[in-house]
Amino acid sequence: MSFSPKQFASVFILLVFVFGCAGGMSRTKKIDTIIQTARSYRGTPYKFGGTTRAGMDCSALLYHSFNSVNIKLPRVSEDQAKKGEKIKRKDLVVGDMVFFATGKKKRKITHAGIVTSVRGKEVRFIHASSSIGVTESNLSSEYYSKRFIRARRVL
């Protein structure tokens, strides 16, 4: 089967339109992909400055997870915490980013995670814990609740 140049151009434009739109995943699909990507790193050991499955830190987890849907975040959690829309803790949804001050300075962001589930007041998030690597935790735990600084939504 052969196409005339005009037919080829028409088919090409149609394919670009169809597949170009397919690249525009729904918000739900993007969030699912972000969470799946983050969870694929479960068990990866923590390594300050690490960006691979051999070892990674919390900001690298966010960086790679959001990059899986072509959302480019800065590499450092303090800078990531400036992206997107500011969200109140009570308004958190799956896919939101959460930020914490886990260091000596009570307001300096040093840790980050991605909300993975919200059931009533129970909010779970995935992060790279310095003590156990990539894991999911409860935002209401005494440790994280006291250190929570802000949440942002980029999607």
Per-position DSSP letters for 35-66, written without gaps between them: HHHHHHTTTPPB-TT-EETTEE-HHHHHHHHH
Residue found by looking up tokens 């999607």 in the block? 155
CATH architecture of 25-153: Alpha-Beta Complex (3.90)
* pLDDT at residue 27 in the model: 95
pLDDT of residue 6: 47
Q: Give mean pLDDT in consecutive 10-residue pieces for the chain, a chain of 155 residues.
A: 45 41 79 98 97 97 98 97 97 98 89 97 96 96 96 97
From the list 30, 64, 111, 152, the catalytic residue is 111
Element (H, E) at 16: helix 5-22
DSSP state, 102? -
Q: Is 21 a catalytic residue?
A: no
Q: Are 41 and 129 in contact (CB under 8 A)?
A: no
**pLDDT value at residue 87:** 97
pLDDT of amino acid 45? 98
- Of 37, 99, 115, 34, the C-alpha closest to 71 is 34
Please give the pLDDT value at position 2. Answer: 54
Domain spans, the chain: 25-153
Give CA separation, 130 vs 32, 62, 83, 85, 142, in Å. 25, 15, 24, 27, 17
Q: Which member of 30, 102, 109, 127 is catalytic?
A: 127
Residue-level pLDDT at 23 = 57
pLDDT value at residue 104 = 83
Phi and psi at residue 39, in whole multiples of 5°? -65, -25
Whole-number pLDDT of residue 79: 98
pLDDT of residue 111: 97
Please report the pLDDT score of residue 101 as a whole number.
96
Residue of 34, 35, 58, 61 marked catalytic: 58
Distance of alpha carbon 125 from alpha carbon 141, whole angstroms: 11
